[in-house]
A and B are shown apart, each in its own frame.
Chain A
Amino acid sequence: MKTRTTTILRWAGLAAVAASLAFAAAGCGGSSGGGATTAAAPETQAATTAASGGETQAAGSGLGSEFDVAAAGDVTVKLWWLGDLEVPGIEAWMDTTIAAFEAKYPNVKVEATTYDTNTWVQTQQTACQSKTGPDLWYNWSGSWSLELSWKGCTVPNEEVLAPSDIEANPSTQETLWQGKTWDFPLYKFVYPIVVNLDLVQKAGLDPASPPATWDEWISALEKIKASGVTPLALGLKDGFGAEIAAAGQLERQAVNDPDTLKQLTVDGDIATDQGWQDWIGKLFDMKPYFNSDANSVTFAEGLALWQNGKTAMVFGAPGVQSVIADAQKSGMNVGLLTMPAFTTLGWSDGLANTGQGFQVTQWSENKEVAGAFMAFLQTPENLQSLYEATGSFPTSTAWDSSQVSSATDQQMLDWLGENNSIWWSANYTPVDLDPNCRFVVFQKMMAGEIDVQGALQTCQEALVKWRKANPAALENFQSWLTG
């Protein structure tokens, strides 16, 4: 009886809370969430104000790898991330690395929780709306990270890491905004085209002289097709295969540097943009060479077509190194390509790559320890063991890449060495362009429901709609463009 009464009382308590919240919500239309730390400030500045206001130490001294963790007292650092879903094998590495960190600093406990990709954005958004969540979370680079920074929910690297830590990690430049960097990448995704060399050879092509121009590329595709093999695997059912193909190979060639894309976002016109006309035109030229069922297979199922020897090539995606390793293990002769340049812009030639890492959250009470942990993940030994465990390339220059043994890895590193700054073009346009432009264009192209002009029009309409719906984000893109 007693327990029942207390339970009922607790319920009543909840009801009271709900009711009072409802009143508060109805009463003051202005501030949301209650107790916002910054008063009404212009959108673009609020985040930095919120970030730098407060008790954090002056940037630069004793942070990150220089922070005295042992003196920080008993602390639990919570980490939310996607683990093996992004990079197979990384969870085991993280467990070992956390154990090493906890052994080094017995006063610290790190709790890593793995989330599901499908509910990840909801998880982050709800946390950001309520200042409740982990100290540290995983994030993709560019606008994915910055969207949350613009909402004031994460702090810049400069507040939690030593300048030397940031300097050693060039991929932080992908989130440079207002003179600070907002995501601390750990490893990079790289996007080569992965080739089944046996099938290519069977089609009468010489793996030693890969296509170097667009015309050679198309004629190679034609030869493969003539040999009875589907040249390229594509899986569009879950959409993002379009982003992989666009940002990894095609759309990027319309980009000179990130500003090209930010400018386009702020006031460009896709319908008349030369670069976009080029890449979408080229995409349509390639249509006959994709598997005809691209719309009804998921990205992973498209990849499986290639793994089964049913297509000659596939667009590499996150985790590509383990795909290569598995294929080699099953006896396949694997080679790599990047798409021949069809423009002369900055991102036309080379290997697309983007660093994925962590952000320290604004509500964290252990920002410095979280920063120190991020730095600890990037000691040379831990980076080497990361590479060994997952095959992914660490972003930090502290990693000694000369220890790479596989030929395909060496090939990718060579490409990266030549031009390391081909980032992910989809990170510099609104996320909304994925569902309403890239996905639509690819899927409708495969279904034969759209032409190049229609595709350009669709994307421009999506962009105009986004500007109308997101005045705040538009302002942020503007300020991102100017620095």
Chain B
Amino acid sequence: MTGRARVAPMPQRLKPWLFCAPLIVCVGIVFLYPLVALVRYSFEQVGSAYIPSTFVGLDNYRYVYSDSLFWRAITNNAKLLLCVPVLIVLSTIIAAVLHDQVKGWKAYRTFVFLPYVLSIPVVGIVFGYLFQQKGLVNSALQNVGLGALAQDWLGTSTWALPTIMAVIIWKELGFGVIVFLARLISVPEDMFEAARIDGAGWWRRLRYVTIPQLAPAIVFYAIVELITMLSWVFAYIYVMTAGGPGNSTVVSEYYIYQQTFQNTVIGIGAAAAVTLLGFVSILIIVRLWLVRRVELLGVEG
């Protein structure tokens, strides 16, 4: 370990900044002004290039917090978070199985990742068909005598969101599998071999070798997917239900879109966006604090 006390020469200390400079510039261009503007909008009744905006204080926030649709959207996002553990478990198992190099694993791997390559409109249209009330899923259920389980999957408030969740899991799974696989590949093979020689069964190897080795990748994937469920699911909702039936599948991102572009109240959309950002920032600060604690305990290198 590098001694923390060692005083680095000046250019050495600047080196991290130098390495990060392009990142800071590029991210600054794209995010800095939009972020400032977003916060400003959230306190304004926003006009246009020709109509001046007026300052309205906290009105936009008050509106958003008293809007039951916003809370439904947040609740739906919270439900979407349930996809994350499912994704992690499935990705771990599939990546582990593929890493065992079962016969034809290369072909399997290619196909498992395929959903991630498809664009969401294709996925939305296809699954929209499969899950119709008179679609393939229901007729398959009827054919095997499970007609009682048939639902109007995307057409009722009860089932629409769970159905969308299933499709999201289906599509995002491939990403988890390749991230985990990439990690497993960089782990020296002898670790697995040693466990095998020790006579550890598949599940034991999974529990005591694979999962610990995957830990950093799991943390990464969990964070990315948590963020996806919070603010990158717009396209799924837009294509599969457009927020319906009866607004039952509106998520925060869709709410922001509706307010900003359909209802053209940019300020209210911005207030919702800032709220979302604030909420996540708190989570991140908590995480940062936790990581520091862990680091102090000397667990993290």
Contacts and interface: CB of A to CB of B under 8 A. Distances in A.
Contacts of B61: none
B63 interface: yes
Interface stretch (B40-48, B79-87, B215-223): B40-48
Bin chain B's interface residue count.
Answer: 35 or more
A87 interface: no
B155 A153 contact: no
A26 B52 CA distance: 15
B155 A237 contact: yes
A436 B155 CA distance: 17
A31 B36 contact: no
Interface in A121-173: 121-122, 125, 128-131, 147, 150-153
Given A14-B29, A295-B133, A296-B153, A447 B49 contact: no
10 contacts: A19-B28, A33-B49, A147-B264, A151-B264, A295-B152, A296-B131, A298-B128, A432-B262, A439-B244, A450-B246
Contacts of B152: 293, 295-296, 447
B32 interface: yes
B155 A129 contact: no
B285 interface: no
A153 B153 CA distance: 42
Given A293-B152, A296-B131, A440 B247 contact: yes
B64 to A, nearest CB: 9
Contact of B157 (A12, A39, A449): A449
Contact of A296 (B25, B37, B135): B135
B203 interface: no
A444 B153 CA distance: 14
B263 A43 contact: no
A395 interface: no
A468 to B, nearest CB: 6
B200 interface: no
B151 to A, nearest CB: 10
B265 interface: yes
A18 B50 contact: no
A296 B28 CA distance: 43
A472 B50 contact: no
A-B pairs, top 9 by smallest CB distance, nearest first, are A152-B50, A295-B155, A293-B133, A443-B245, A151-B48, A296-B155, A444-B246, A131-B49, A33-B49
Given A15-B29, A447-B246, A436 B69 contact: yes
A295 B52 contact: no
B40 A295 contact: no
Contacts of B28: 15, 18-19
Interface stretch (B90-98, B140-148, B235-243, B274-282): B235-243
Q: Which of B46, B48, B132, B135 has the most CB of A within 10 A?
A: B48
Nearest to A123: B261
Nearest to A445: B246
Nearest to B238: A118
B33 to A, nearest CB: 5
Nearest to B134: A293
A60 interface: no
B50 A47 contact: yes
B53 A125 contact: no
Contacts of A25: 33, 36-37, 40
B266 to A, nearest CB: 8
A236 B48 contact: no
B29 A293 contact: no
B51 interface: yes
Given A118-B238, A239-B242, A362 B37 contact: no
A367 B50 CA distance: 17
A26 B40 contact: yes
Given A436-B247, A465-B67, A33 B132 contact: no
